[in-house]
Structure 1
Amino acid sequence: MKRHTRVSTAAAALLGVSLLATACSTGGDDAAASEASDPAGASEAVGRVAVAFPNGIAVLDPETLEVVGEVATEEFTRLNAFGDGRSIAVTTSEGFQILDTAEPALTDRVFDATAAGHVVAHHGKTVLFDDGTGTTTVLDTDAFADGADAEPETVTYTAPAAHHGVSIVLEDGTLLTTVGDETGRTGAVALHAHDDHWHEEAASDECPGIHGEGTAADEAVIFGCEDGALLYRDGAFVKLQAPDAYGRMGNAFVSETSPVVVGDYKSDPDAEGYLLNAVTLIDTAAQTLEVIDLPDEVQYTFRDIARGPGDLAYILSTDGRIHVLDPETGELVDAYPVVEPWEGPAEWQDPHPAIKVDGDIAYVTEPAADAVHAIDLTSGEIVASVELEHTPNELAVALG
């Protein structure tokens, strides 16, 4: 079943901003030694796959899935591509620590954060958000392309109040960042740096529970809200209303060559567990939001959607298959069996299948089998598999 809603125009509201500061953070833990050598050589080690397990991270060759090295970490870490084809930002209790997948080694380069959160790479800039302080740190995406020895230049912005947020820098230098405090998250603001201050270009307070972001074609940016989504394009915010009083979109899955954003969707705030059974389709050009109810057997979590070949969306479902969704039509057009059927996690941090895409290849974890698979999304063929010595949890690809 499909449900439709048109958008309403967002009202602008002025928000205070803090002064511009320039800083950089180094320090951190000692790098853990790699347990295997790099057979390909650092110069050829691009697009490697990182898989977190309790107290460690395995680095895999993207073609064979051979384990080329392991490093020791904390019990639970999150992984995000830094955007240079080589580095992974590892979220630890100390902050954002850089994993060099070419070595492979967990480096001494740490960006201090009291509660390290989202990492966003876009148009040559990578942005780190510290939930504990509301601090955004911006640096060049290629800062560690040749290794993490050099100390990079950074620019920071500190929000008026700490919150679980996210920021992104656009091609023209606009900083988009969320707004919130200890009582909740309300919206976003667009800022430009001017000498000793940030100038506010636009703002919206029409996005309760704002979470996550994604950039579609023509640099249209979507944030998720508890009642729909918030669109930023051409210097202005536009609210896209959900068809339900509570209609939460918290994660946006995008292609920068498609105007259509695929988002997760939850309409029952009291629902138990983390499995979802509907998606949002947001046309950033037409400024519309549509909810697509999926077949009963197609259920997924926030880890289980990715965009891939043909700008299609690929949903890793609890039935063990990757279901192919055409965002233009909202129809499921294919399905590929990959893993055994699985159940949703009791807690979001618990290991459960995840999918990440690089080009035509999808990487899928199968925690129940301690396995990782590589799937050619143009054919559905499993082209490589590996059984690890640990149970995989978080997954990231060193995308460039």
Structure 2
Amino acid sequence: MLRQRNPRLGVTAALAGFVLLATACADGSATAGSSAGTPGASASSTSTQGRLAVSSPGSISVLDGTTLEVIETFDSEEFTRLNAAGDGRHVFVTTTSGFQLLDTAAPKLTDLTVDATAAGHVVRHAGNTVLYDDGTGTTIIMKTQDLANIKDVLPETSSYTAESPHHGVSIVLADGTLVTTLGDKTSRPGAVALEPHDDHWHSITESRECPGIHGEGPAMDEAVVFGCEDGALLYHDGEFQKFTAPDKYGRMGNAFVSESSPIVVGDYKNDPDAEGYLLNSVALIDTEKRSYNVVELPDTINYTFRDVARGPGDLAYILSTNGSIHVLDPQNGKIVNEFPVIKAWEGPTEWQDAHPSIAVNGDIAYVSEPAANTVHSADLTTGKILASKKMDSVPNEMAITTH
């Protein structure tokens, strides 16, 4: 079933004399420490296989992207999150000290850490890697290429600090515009776009029409979409636009994007009192047509925020509790294929709990199966299982590097 609501323009008030502070936020119930969607996933049809970082309780393993053999395992904290740095080699590990750099090529869990009191989202786009410290509300910006050439010290960074600390997310566009979410510890109403001026940031426009703002994703032509508790918020060509959900409560928390597609796939929840983390609908936002639709999936398809990725053909690949990857065409919301991969599973009690997840690199999907302590790889063009690896501990999060 498909339901549609017409978009309405959001507030676009320029703030003269905006202080040298930004705000950013997101709902920590799902994606604290990761950017929404598949990192850097412009859905190419090229099969590129590098390495795979996998977190487990107290450790992180680096696997060969083709054979899935474990190359090295490092001790770490009991619960860590993994975020590809965007340079094809490094992964940021969110720890209690900040963003610790993992070199998957060496491999080595380095001593290099970007200090943060509460390490949160990592966003890669337009040659920048942007980190967000929830504890201070600080956006930390570094050139991705500088990470690729790193030696013994971290690259130079620029930063922007929020008025109030909270769980946030920021993205830097190709022209240097910083788009970051607004909020404080009690509410998160929207986002602001800023441009750099000498030693400060100047506000271009803002919108406060996105309650509970969470997650972001850049679609084609740098159309950036954020999730709201009642729809979604678009920033494009210097303006914000609000899309209203068909339900009074219609929360989108994560944006799954391809930078070669104008359509954003968002997770969708319409019952604020529903227990657990399983979802059965998706939001489809067409940033060219400026349309917002909700698609109710077949009863056999239930997923969490870790179970959606973009891949070949700009399609969406949804790992369901029935153990299959279901292929969704964002153009029409139809399921066009199904690939059995793992055994059926149940949703997590807490979002941090290890449960099956999917990560995509080119034509290849990596799927974790915590109940079997196993990681699989599959060809998304054929559904063929390429490799499986039994781990010594329960796999939780995954991050892909390309070399």
TM-score under structure 2 normalisation?
Answer: 0.91
- How far off its partner does 1:202 sit? 1.1
Equivalents in 1 of 2:164, 2:199: separation in Å?
20
Contact 1:361 1:377 in 2 (8 A): yes
Aligned residue in 2 for 1:8: 8
Structure 1 segment 313-328 matched on structure 2, within 5 A: 313-328=316-331
Aligned residue in 2 for 1:144: 147
Is the aligned partner of 1:118 residue 2:128?
A: no
- Structure 2: runs of 5+ lacking an equivalent: 23-47
Structure number with greater CO (CA < 8 Å, separation at least 6) is 2
- What are the superposed Cα offsets for residues 168-219 of structure 1, whole Å, 9 maximum, x if unpaired? 0000000000000011111000001101221111100000000000010111
Equivalents in 2 of 1:134, 1:55: separation in Å?
27
Aligned residue in 2 for 1:19: 20
- How far off its partner does 1:151 sit? 3.0
Is the aligned partner of 1:282 residue 2:250?
A: no
Equivalents in 2 of 1:359, 1:394: separation in Å?
19
Is the aligned partner of 1:155 residue 2:155?
A: no
SS in 1 for 2:313: helix
Contact 2:95 2:119 in 1 (8 A): yes
- How far off its partner does 1:144 sit? 2.4
Aligned residue in 2 for 1:265: 268
Relative to structure 1, the CA distance from residue 148 to residue 116 in structure 2 (aligned partners, 3 Å threshold; closer, same or farther) is farther
Aligned residue in 2 for 1:308: 311
Of 310-319 and 102-111, more deviation after overlay is shown by 102-111
Equivalents in 2 of 1:264, 1:5: separation in Å?
16
- How far off its partner does 1:12 sit? 1.8
Contact 1:18 1:158 in 2 (8 A): no
Is the aligned partner of 1:198 residue 2:188?
A: no
Of 334, 344, 361 in structure 2, the residue corresponding to residue 341 of structure 1 is 344
Aligned residue in 1 for 2:392: 389
Equivalents in 2 of 1:148, 1:304: separation in Å?
35
- How far off its partner does 1:142 sit? 1.9
Equivalents in 2 of 1:84, 1:340: separation in Å?
34
- How far off its partner does 1:17 sit? 4.2
Aligned residue in 2 for 1:95: 98
- Percent same amino acid at aligned positions? 64
Aligned residue in 1 for 2:83: 80
Query: Partner amino acid for 1:142?
Result: Q
Equivalents in 1 of 2:348, 2:151: separation in Å?
35
SS in 2 for 1:368: helix
Query: Partner amino acid for 1:191?
Result: L
- Structure 1: runs of 5+ lacking an equivalent: 22-44
Is the aligned partner of 1:215 residue 2:224?
A: no
Structure 1 segment 365-384 matched on structure 2, within 5 A: 365-384=368-387
Query: Partner amino acid for 1:8?
Result: R
Contact 1:118 1:165 in 2 (8 A): yes
